[in-house]
C-alpha cells in the first residue's frame, strides 16, 4: 500500500504542480497533497505505472521517510540504499530488492 500511495502521490504532484525540486512552491504543494484526502478532481495515474519495478522504486524512496518516522536520520548525502534496506528489514520492512529475508 505504501508503494501504491507513493506512486499516486508523485503522479498527482507532478500533474498539478510545476516540477522543480528547488522550488518551495512545489515542496509546499507536495506536503499539502500528502496531508489531504484524495479528491474527485485529482488526476488518476495510468494503470501501467504500477509495475513491479515502479513499486520497488517507490518503496526505496519511502525508506527515508520510514527512518525519519522511527526518529532516525540518514546523514549521508549519497546513502547506501542496500544498507538502509538491510537495516529496515530488521523491522519487517519489505525488501526493495525483492530478495528473501
Label residues 64-82 b or e (16+ Cβ within 10 Å = b).
eeebeeeeeeeeeeeeeee
Radius of gyration of the chain from Cα atoms? Answer: 15
Determine which of 12-16, 26-30, 85-89, 94-98 has the lowest per-residue pLDDT on average. 94-98
pLDDT tens by residue, 21-32? 567 888 888 889
Which pLDDT score, from 0 to 100, does residue 22 have? 65
Of the pLDDT bands very low, low, confident and very high (cuts 50, 70, 90), residue 97 is: low
Segment 63-73 shows an average pLDDT of 89
- The model carries a pTM of 0.72
Segment 33-55 shows an average pLDDT of 93
Amino acid at each position: 500500500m505504501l508503494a501504491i500511495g507513493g506512486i499516486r502521490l508523485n503522479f498527482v504532484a507532478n500533474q498539478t504542480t510545476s516540477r522543480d525540486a528547488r522550488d518551495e512552491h512545489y515542496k509546499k504543494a507536495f506536503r499539502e497533497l500528502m496531508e489531504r484526502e484524495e479528491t474527485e478532481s485529482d488526476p488518476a495515474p495510468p494503470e501501467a505505472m504500477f509495475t513491479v519495478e515502479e513499486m520497488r522504486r517507490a518503496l526505496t524512496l519511502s525508506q527515508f521517510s520510514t527512518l525519519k518516522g522511527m526518529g532516525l536520520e540518514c546523514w549521508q548525502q549519497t546513502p547506501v540504499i542496500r544498507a538502509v534496506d538491510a537495516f529496515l528489514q530488521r523491522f519487517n520492512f519489505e525488501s526493495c530488492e525483492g530478495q528473501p529475508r
